[in-house]
Chains A and B, each alone.
Chain A
C-alpha cells in the first residue's frame, strides 16, 4: 500500500516539467545541434538541464565571441545559430552580435536570462532592460511571462528568425520561470497574424522584368546575400546563362555566382573592381537580386546607375525603393523569383558589345599591386586561393585584409565566405571561424584577420584548442589598424592618430601559450612552404604574416564620390 502510494507520487513528479525542461525540449524539436552559451546566475536552471543534454554546448570565452560564432555557424550552415547568455552583462555583451546579425540578415535565436519576475524593474543584481535594449536590433524579441508559453515562443522564434528576411530573435527568460514547475502544457500553435512574408513573386512584375531584359542593351545583375540566404545560386547561374547576363557581386553576396564563370564581373563598391563599378555606372538595366543598395556599394547616390532602369528583387518590401528609386519592384524570395524568370524563357538581349566592353574593362583594369621586398598581402591571398583550389571557407575580420580577401580570393561556390558587412564589426573573424568550422567540420577554414581585430577576440583561441578545430588563423600583421591608417594617409594628411600599434605580444608565443602551433611568415618563400604544410593539417595553426605595413587597398572610391570616380585603378 505504502509502496503504491510512493509509486503514484513519483509518477506524478515525473509528469511535472520545469521551464528549462520545456526550453530544451523545444530546442530538440527544432533540431538544434549546437548552442553557443555562457552560464551565469540567471540561466543556472537552464544550465542544470544542459548538463544532461545531447546538444553540443560550446563555451566561448566572452559572450560576444559566442554570438559571433553563432553568426559564423548560421552563415555557413544556413541554420539558425543558437546563443545563451545570462542576464545583465551577459545580455549586454551580445548587443554587438545582435546588431551585426540584424544588419547582415543572419538567423539567430538568442536566449538571455533575466532576474526573477518579482524583482524586474527594481535594478536588481545583474538586471538590464534587455527587451528595451534589443528592440531596435532584433527582428523580434520576447520576454517569457508564463511557463506555458515557452514551447510556442520558441517555435515562433525559430520561424521568425529563419523565414522572410532572416534575422536575430531574442527570448528573455526570467530565472523563476525557467525554474518553475508545471504540468506539460498543451501544444499551442504559432500566432503571428502580423507576419506573413511574401515568398512568391507577382507574375506581372516578373513579366515586366523579363520584357525589360529582352529590350536591354546594357543589362547587369547585382547579386547580394539574398541569393545565398535563399540558396538560389544554381538558379542565378541558370538564369544568367539563359539570358547571358553579367553578374556583379556585393561584398556579402560573394560565392553566389562562381568567380571563374565568364559572366562573372567581380566585386562592386568602395573597393570593388573597375569593371563592376563601371558596369553599374553605365548599365541601362540593373537587376538587383537580394542586395540592399548599401552606401558602401552605391557610393554617392546622385551618380549611381544614372541611365539604368532599376529592377529589385527582395523579400523585404521596405528595402525596395529605400535608397534607389525602383521601376520594377519584385517582392519575393530570390529563388522563387529566379525560377519564375527562368520559366519566362524570354528573348536574350542583343548586348554582345556590352559583354565585350565589360570583358575589356576586366582585362585592362584588373586588381593590381606592386612587387617589392616586403610581403604583399594580395600575394598571400593569391597563394591561399591557389593552395586551397578556391574551395576553403574564408572568414574575415574587418578592415584592409577583409577587402583584399574579397578581391583576391575567388569564390566558386556558395557558403564559403563569412564576413561582417553591414556593421563592420572588428573582433568578428576569430569567433565566427569557430562557428563556420563547426558548421562544416571537414572543410579547410581560414580565418583571415588583421592584427587589430585579432586582439579584440584573442581569448577565443581557447575554444579552438578545446574543440581542436583545425582553423588556420592567418593574421595579416601590419602593426597598425590598416584601414584607419589608410584613411588618415589619404584624407587626414598622414596624421596617424592612434592607428599604429607597434607594441604587440608575440602572436606565435601567444598561440603556443594556448597550446596552438604558431609560425611567423616574413616572405613569399616562407609562406609557400608553410601553407603547403599546414593548410591540410587537422589541427589549428596560427600564422603571423608580416605584410607590407604601408600597403593600401585599391581601387578606392572616396566618400561622397560616385562609382565612376575610382582612384588607384591603374598601377
Chain B
C-alpha cells in the first residue's frame, strides 16, 4: 500500500542523505521524495511517498525517521484529508496536424503549454499523481520525447473531516 509521509527537518547539510540512507539501510521502498523550504527559516519540508506491506512497516518507518536527530516531526498523512500535488513537464511530439488535438486534451486537465517548437510541445501539468498518470496515458500515443516529474508534495487540509479519525503511530 502507498503511504505519504510528511516531515519537517532541520535544514542542515547531509540531511537528505541521512533520510535516503535510512531508507536503503532498512530496505524500505520509496516512490518519490520532494524537498523544499518552509515558512520557517532553517526548516525544510520533505514529503515521501513509500510502498509498504503493512501498517506495522509504515509505523516502523515513521519511528526510525523520528529517531533522526535532524528530523523535527514525522507524520503519516495517508489517512488524513490532505492536499497533495505533483508537477510534471512533458515534451510531446506534435505536428501542425496533431497540435489542435493535443490542445483539446490539455484543456480538461487544466494543463498548460509552456513551450512550442516546430515538432514538439512542452506541457506543464499539476495535480494529484493519479491525474498525472491518467494524462500521461492519454498523451502517450502522440509520442512522449521527455518526461520529468517532481514527486508528490503534500500536507493536511485546514479542516479535517470528523468521520475520518486521525491515525497516529506514536507509542508515547
Chain B residue numbers with a CB within 8 Å of A338 are: none
Question: When the two chains form the complex, which single residue of B10, B14, B56, B71 contacts A131, counting CB atoms closer than 8 Å?
Answer: B14
B70 touches A (CB below 8 Å): yes
Task: Tell whether, in the assembled complex, residue B69 and residue A318 are in contact, meaning their CB atoms are under 8 Å apart.
Answer: no
B13: nearest chain-A partner, CB-CB: A143
- Quote the shortest CB–CB distance from B27 to chain A (angstroms): 12
Q: Could you tell me if B66 and A192 are in contact, using CB atoms closer than 8 angstroms? A: no
Provide the bound-state CA to CA distance between A136 and B67, in Å. Answer: 13
B60 and A194 contacting across the interface, CB-CB below 8 Å: no
Q: How many Å from the CB of B11 to the closest CB on chain A?
A: 12
- Are A193's CB and B63's CB within 8 A? no
A321 touches B69 (CB 8 A): no
Is A320 among interface residues, defined by CB-CB distance under 8 A? yes
> Contact at A194–B172, with CB atoms within 8 Å?
no
> Could you say which residues of chain A place their CB within 8 Å of the CB of B128?
none
Contacts A135-B17, A193-B10, A321-B171; is A140 near B69 (CB within 8 Å)? yes
- Chain B interfacial residues counted at CB < 8 A: 24
Min Cβ gap B67→A in Å is 5
Quote the shortest CB–CB distance from A408 to chain B (angstroms): 36
Q: Is the CB of B17 within 8 A of A132?
A: yes
Give the contacts of A143-161 with B (CB-CB under 8 A): 143, 160
A11 on interface, CB distance cutoff 8 Å: no
Complex formed: what's the CA distance from A135 to B17 in Å? Answer: 8
Per-position binary interface string of chain A over residues 197-218, scored 1 when its CB falls under 8 Å from any chain B CB and 0 otherwise: 0100010000000000000000
- Alpha-carbon separation in the docked complex, A131 to B63 (Å): 23
Task: Kindly identify, within residues 300 to 352 of chain A, every residue whose CB is under 8 Å from any CB belonging to chain B.
Answer: 316-318, 320-322, 325, 329, 331
CA distance A100 to B84 in the complex (A): 41
CA distance A325 to B172 in the complex (A): 16
Q: Is the CB of A316 within 8 A of B171?
A: no
For A320, what are the chain B residues with a Cβ–Cβ distance below 8 Å?
Answer: 171
> Quick check: is A195 within 8 A (CB to CB) of the other chain?
yes
B25 near A136: Cβ-Cβ < 8 Å:
yes
How far is it, in angstroms, between the C-alpha of A95 and the C-alpha of B155 when the chains are bound? 39
Contacts of B56 in A (CB 8 A): 321, 325
Q: What is the distance, in angstroms, from A191's C-beta to the closest C-beta of chain B?
A: 9
Name the 6 nearest CB pairs between A and B, nearest first.
A318-B63, A195-B69, A194-B72, A317-B171, A329-B171, A136-B25
Task: List B residues at the A interface (Cβ < 8 Å).
Answer: 9-10, 13-14, 17-18, 21-22, 25, 56, 59-60, 63-64, 66-72, 170-172
- Other A-B pairs beyond A194-B9, A321-B59, 8, CB < 8 Å: A135-B18, A135-B21, A160-B69, A194-B10, A194-B69, A195-B69, A318-B66, A322-B60
Residue pairs across A and B with Cβ atoms less than 8 A apart, 11 shown, are A135-B17, A136-B22, A160-B69, A194-B9, A194-B69, A194-B71, A195-B69, A198-B172, A317-B170, A321-B56, A321-B60
